[in-house]
């Protein structure tokens, strides 16, 4: 059965990713899009022929099986909750929410009408991450993880909503760190964090000229933003696993590199690749396993850039049909948003 989908939000993600990918996928039919900007609505209609409305309240629950929500971060929870209360299941782009209060609101909305909230985080669906996941069980007891996503130049539209704290909820940590933390949970399982310490910096976002050239976000925005471009931290999970974390929208590095390094009692596995759509990427993913001083290079499937989003859609229909998935997105989001909140509290302590 074809799943009838509405896309909420026609910014970069809604326009460049979801409208296109859903339209190309046999399991889905895009029947509507909601967007307050009349110019964006007109452009989407001209390009795709999809019916557009100015607000999600105009979407008819009887005509829609699923809404893909790709609005700015500060509208994620509010938009998703409105849809869920009307009985429309939601696939919500990360971050699922920005506060624990928003998580509670979403949980109540999901229960209210029996709809399902599913969370979008594509990195865990990459072929190279899947290859790493197969290796992890051979590493023995997991003791430490090192997570990093560092861009050479990649600030998303400085001065736009992505770089405004009131609208994004944070900078590189919320944007890139959510992917890393979600991917780690998919590799070794989720767990609460008992200790979190972090620092942030904003040298590049304030300097200007370090923007992400591959994003088409419209006209340049005024200002340079008030969020961090770099976050570095260390945490200890309740299961005893320690985690070092670095996210950077810009740096002095030559390439945009993502790295997942998992240390266990029986060996160490390391994946170096480039998440996302940046053209300034590593030429190929590299997965190694080191045991007793000997390092082995493992084969990794060569996927096209962005293939993880299509793979994510491949499993979405099954996830939507499984009632056991109800509540799982909120449970995972509570862990992540709680950790991020503690990270920021550590980085910006309140004066006594």
Residue 9: name the closest of 51, 47, 54 by CA: 54
Tell me the domains of the chain and their CATH numbers: 3-120 (3.40.50.720), 124-310 (3.30.360.10)
Strand order in the sheet with 117-120: 52-53, 28-34, 3-8, 66-69, 89-93, 117-120
> Mind listing the pLDDT tens digit of every residue in the chain (352 residues)?
899 999 999 988 899 899 999 999 999 999 999 999 999 999 999 999 999 999 999 999 999 999 999 999 999 999 999 999 999 999 998 999 999 999 999 999 999 999 999 998 899 999 999 999 999 999 999 999 999 999 999 998 767 888 999 999 999 999 999 999 999 999 999 999 999 999 999 999 888 778 876 655 544 444 568 999 999 999 999 999 999 999 999 999 999 999 999 999 999 999 999 999 999 999 999 999 999 999 999 999 989 999 999 999 999 989 998 989 999 999 999 999 999 999 999 998 765 5
For residue 284, give both structure tokens. Answer: 């190929």
Q: With helix as H, strand as E and coil as C, how does the chain read? A: CCEEEEEECCCHHHHHHHHHHHHHCCCEEEEEEECCCHHHHHHHHHHHCCCEECCHHHCCCCCCCEEEECCCHHHHHHHHHHHHHCCCEEEEECCCCCCHHHHHHHHHHHHHHCCCEEEECHHHHCHHHHHHHHHHHHHCCEEEEEEEEECCECECCCCCHHHCHHHHCCCHHHHHHHHHHHHHHHHHCCCCEEEEEEEEECHHHHHCCCECCCCCCCCCCCCCCCCCCEEEEEEEECCCCEEEEEEECECCCCCEEEEEEEEECCEEEEEEECCCCCCCECCCCEEEEEECCEEEEECCCCCCCCHHHHHHHHCHHHHHHCHHHCCHHHHHHHHHHHHHHHHHHHHCCCCC
Would you say the pTM of this structure is higher than 0.75? yes
């Amino acid at each position: 059965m074809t799943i009838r989908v509405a896309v909420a939000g026609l910014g970069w993600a809604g326009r460049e990713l979801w409208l296109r990918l859903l339209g190309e996928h046999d399991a889905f039919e895009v029947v509507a899009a909601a967007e307050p900007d009349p110019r964006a609505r007109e452009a989407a209609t001209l390009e795709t022929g999809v019916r557009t409305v100015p607000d999600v309240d105009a979407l008819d629950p009887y005509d829609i099986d699923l809404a893909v929500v790709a609005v700015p971060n500060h509208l994620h929870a509010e938009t998703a909750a409105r849809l869920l209360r009307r009985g429309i299941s939601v696939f919500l782009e990360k971050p699922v929410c920005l506060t624990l209060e928003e998580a509670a609101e979403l949980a109540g909305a999901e229960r209210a009408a029996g709809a399902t909230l599913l969370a979008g985080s594509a990195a865990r669906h990459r072929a190279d991450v899947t290859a790493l996941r197969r290796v992890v069980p051979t590493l023995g007891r997991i003791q430490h993880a090192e997570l990093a996503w560092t861009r050479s130049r990649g600030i998303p539209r400085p001065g736009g909503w992505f770089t405004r704290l009131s609208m994004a909820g944070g900078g590189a940590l919320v944007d890139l760190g959510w992917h890393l933390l979600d991917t780690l949970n998919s590799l070794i399982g989720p767990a609460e964090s008992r200790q979190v310490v972090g620092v942030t910096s904003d040298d590049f976002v304030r300097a200007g000229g370090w923007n992400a050239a591959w994003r088409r976000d419209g006209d340049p925005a005024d200002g340079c933003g008030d969020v961090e471009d770099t976050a570095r931290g260390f945490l200890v999970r309740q299961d005893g696993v320690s985690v070092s974390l670095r996210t950077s929208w810009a740096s002095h590095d030559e390439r945009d590199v993502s790295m997942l390094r998992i240390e266990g009692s029986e060996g160490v596995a390391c994946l170096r690749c480039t998440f996302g759509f940046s053209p300034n990427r590593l030429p190929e993913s590299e997965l190694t396993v080191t045991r007793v001083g000997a390092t082995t290079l493992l084969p990794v499937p060569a996927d096209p850039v962005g293939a993880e989003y299509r793979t994510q859609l491949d499993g979405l229909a099954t996830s939507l049909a499984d009632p056991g998935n109800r509540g799982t997105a909120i449970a995972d989001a509570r862990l992540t948003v709680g950790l991020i909140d503690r990270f920021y509290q550590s980085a910006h302590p309140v004066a006594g």
